[in-house]
Structure 1
Amino acid sequence: MKFSGWPDPGELVVGRVDEIEDFGVFVDLQEYDDKRGLAHISEVASGWIKNVRDHVNEGQTVVAKVLDIDQDAQQIDLSIKDVNDHQRKEKIQEWKNEQKADNWMTIAFGEDIDDDTYGTIAEELLSGFGSMYDGFEQAAIHGTEALEDSDLDDEDIDAIVQTARENVSVPYVKVTGYVDLTCPDSDGVDAVKEALQAAEGNGEVSEEIDLDVTYVGAPEYRLEVQAPDYKTAETALEDSADRASEAIADLGGTGHFHRERNTDEE
């Protein structure tokens, strides 16, 4: 995705050196449509410069700071020397992430997606998460809940979540479900306690899985699983609910698993 507008003064931009002159370097901005900036020789590197080509090469990807903009003159003044190593690495990673997100958009909505539709969806992700990449990452971690406050329709949300969970590598994912546990017997409280212990795995849950069972409101309990990937988390969540349901059924009660919290009594 490339922006159609102009960068702001002080902004860090990714560019490709497309022309080198004795007085400076012309840089094609990779994040903006048809935008080109100039880094004067004094802004290419610190100290005295004898030959600009000793510091940059044509075709080289650089990170530059926007010094000034003159839209009437179609001029963008840049500084390469004012960007430190940490800023450069961080900006390059951010740019690469957005390139990944751009590819995910194509996977989610097809190569024939029109510019208006792409722009509308991208703007929702940018406004909600700061970047398209972060939007996909949150969709991979939290599913449809991550996008429920957006103006995207259900079909678009499903496409983003499915693509995210198939393509985004995240440090962990978290999934949540609920189980209703009831037992009419006189010792029903003890039966529920035993079912909850079963839900927690009786100490036998894998170390890579963080499983938390909490009380919501009779007869509802929240099951929350954190795991390295979505498939593992979903399997652990369903296994937890199955263990609870089977345990309480053996004691004369019933267990019912559902994904959304019951709000009938609120």
Structure 2
Amino acid sequence: MKFTGWPEKGDLVVGEVDEIADFGVFVDLEEYEDKRGLVHVSEVASGWIKNIRDHVNTGERVVAKVLDIDESSQQIDLSLKDVNDHQRSDKIQEWKNERKADNWMTIAFGEDVSDEKYSGVATELLAGFGTMYDGFEQAAIHGHEALEDVDLTDDEVDAVVEAARENVSVPYVNVTGYVDLECPSPDGVDAIRDALQSAEGNGEVPEEVELSVSYVGSPEYRITVKAPDYKTAERELEASAERAAGRIGEVGGTGAYHRERHTDEE
């Protein structure tokens, strides 16, 4: 997706070096339609520049900072030296992500999607998530629920979710915790089995979360959670242990949650 408007002063933009002159570098902006900026020789690099071509090459992709904009004269002043390595890396990754999202939009709505349709959906994703990429990623993780507050039609939501689920590689994290379960009653084995089933969720675990419980050594059981982020993973891990402890407590047993595995010396 290319923006039809203008960047704002202070923005970081991705561009391709189009022309090099003694006084500066002309850069075609990748994210904006028909927009070209100028990096004055003094903004190419810090210090004295003997030969500008020692610092940039024609066709090179660069990240620049917008210093000033004059719409009346169609001029955008840029700086390369004001962008550090971390900013450059982050901006390039963001640009690559949006190119992926642009492809997902085509998958969702077809190659012949109208500009009006594309712009309408893209605008809503940008408003709701900051970037189209984040919108698709959240749709892949949370499905229709992620788009509940986004002003899209049901058909548009279906298309975004389907494309996201089939094409977005969702990052996941894994966390592990332990729960000790003990029950002195004659039917203690059955009680512990029920508690473990409760730990596994009984349908309460969110769709985007994978949770499993395994035996370590009496009375210890391992709970492993795979989730899209640490906050969700930790929440579901603790909830699983609480379900198990609550269930075993109902029949006179005890349950204790801990993060580290017990050792033989303990």
TM normalised by structure 2 equals 0.69
Give the whole-Å Cα distance in 1 for the aligned partners of 2:15 and 2:80.
10
| Residue 69 (structure 1) aligns with | 69
Give the whole-Å Cα distance in 2 for the aligned partners of 1:61 and 1:118.
26
Instruction: Name the SS for the 1:62 alignment partner.
Output: strand
| Residue 124 (structure 1) aligns with | 124
The answer (yes or no) to whether the contact 1:19–1:27 under 8 Å persists in 2 is yes
Task: List gaps (5 residues or longer) in structure 2.
Answer: 174-189, 211-225, 229-266
Q: CA deviation at 1:23?
A: 0.2
Cα-to-partner distance string for 1:168-206 (whole Å, 9 max, x where unaligned):
111239xxxxxxxxxxxxxxxxx9997664354xxxxxx
Q: Give the RMSD, CA atoms, in angstroms.
A: 2.2
2:204 to 222, 226, 233: 222
Which has the higher mean CA deviation after the structures are superposed, 162-171 or 51-60?
162-171
Give the whole-Å Cα distance in 2 for the aligned partners of 1:224 and 1:140.
13
Task: Report matched runs for 1:70-219 at 5 Å.
Answer: 70-172=70-172, 197-198=196-197, 200=199, 211-212=200-201
The answer (yes or no) to whether the contact 1:128–1:135 under 8 Å persists in 2 is yes
Instruction: Name the SS for the 1:49 alignment partner.
Output: coil
1:52 partner letter: I
Instruction: Name the SS for the 1:224 alignment partner.
Output: coil
Cα-to-partner distance string for 1:82-128 (whole Å, 9 max, x where unaligned):
00000000000000000000000000110000101000000010000
Identity across the alignment (%): 68
Task: List gaps (5 residues or longer) in structure 1.
Answer: 174-190, 201-210, 214-220, 231-266
* Structure 2 CA distance for partners of 1:117 and 1:193, relative to 1, 3 Å: farther
Instruction: Name the SS for the 2:72 alignment partner.
Output: coil
Give the whole-Å Cα distance in 2 for the aligned partners of 1:196 and 1:127.
44
Give the whole-Å Cα distance in 1 for the aligned partners of 2:192 and 2:161.
35
Give the whole-Å Cα distance in 1 for the aligned partners of 2:198 and 2:106.
40
Task: Report matched runs for 1:1-20 at 5 Å.
Answer: 1-20=1-20
Give the whole-Å Cα distance in 2 for the aligned partners of 1:126 and 1:193.
48
Give the whole-Å Cα distance in 2 for the aligned partners of 1:103 and 1:198.
42
Task: Report matched runs for 1:19-98 at 5 Å.
Answer: 19-98=19-98
TM normalised by structure 1 equals 0.69
Give the whole-Å Cα distance in 1 for the aligned partners of 2:101 and 2:191.
45
Give the whole-Å Cα distance in 2 for the aligned partners of 1:11 and 1:88.
12
Aligned residues: 196
2:206 partner letter: E
Instruction: Name the SS for the 1:19 alignment partner.
Output: strand
Q: CA deviation at 1:223?
A: 3.1
Instruction: Name the SS for the 2:145 alignment partner.
Output: helix
The answer (yes or no) to whether the contact 1:212–1:224 under 8 Å persists in 2 is no
